[in-house]
Structure 1
């Protein structure tokens, strides 16, 4: 039986950024596998289908790691790094 995934939309406002990628525990922190698309207003978007659970993530903006400013949950790793956290649940 396949696990049902939930549609999750990630947004990040960075009108002057050249490239933005979504990276997290759901894609092995890949800085290349999930490019985001920029709209005319400078809002970057990526739609992912994720299984239920708790996922850590960040945006990789022009070669720099950035927390999601819209996310209220932060996880501090054992190395002192901070990651944004999303709880994915079926509705």
Structure 2
């Protein structure tokens, strides 16, 4: 991993979920590219190496779009909802 690439932890609390994926501008919004792994206590987690930059993302939980549960910056998207933003620096 270079100085231009950083590890970013994505996590989502969904104890009853069957699948959780993170989708965003870093993977062309493809849910199959970034599945989260179910861990103890109902948390789902995935660490990605991303180049320095600004990315929009959302979670796909059992086929439904969800935003990050933590307080994060959000921006409107073309579908009338919101995308979360992560700054990698």
* TM-score, scaled to structure 1: 0.89
- Alignment partner of 1:45 is 2:45: yes
1:15-34 counterparts in 2 under 5 A? 15-34=15-34
Measure the CA separation in 2 of the matches of 1:34 and 1:71: 22
Distance 1:36 1:13, change over 3 A: same
More helix by share: 2
Aligned partners of 1:54 and 1:88 also within 8 Å: yes
Measure the CA separation in 2 of the matches of 1:7 and 1:72: 18
Runs (4+) of structure 1 exceeding 6 A deviation are none
Measure the CA separation in 2 of the matches of 1:9 and 1:55: 13
Cα RMSD for the two superposed structures: 1.5
Distance 1:79 1:14, change over 3 A: closer
Deviates more, 1:61-70 or 1:74-83: 74-83
Aligned residues between the structures:
88
Deviates more, 1:51-60 or 1:70-79: 70-79
Q: What is the Cα deviation at residue 25 of structure 1?
A: 0.3
Q: What residue ranges of structure 1 are gaps of 5+ in the alignment? A: none
**3-state secondary structure, aligned to 1:87:** strand
Q: What is the Cα deviation at residue 71 of structure 1?
A: 3.7
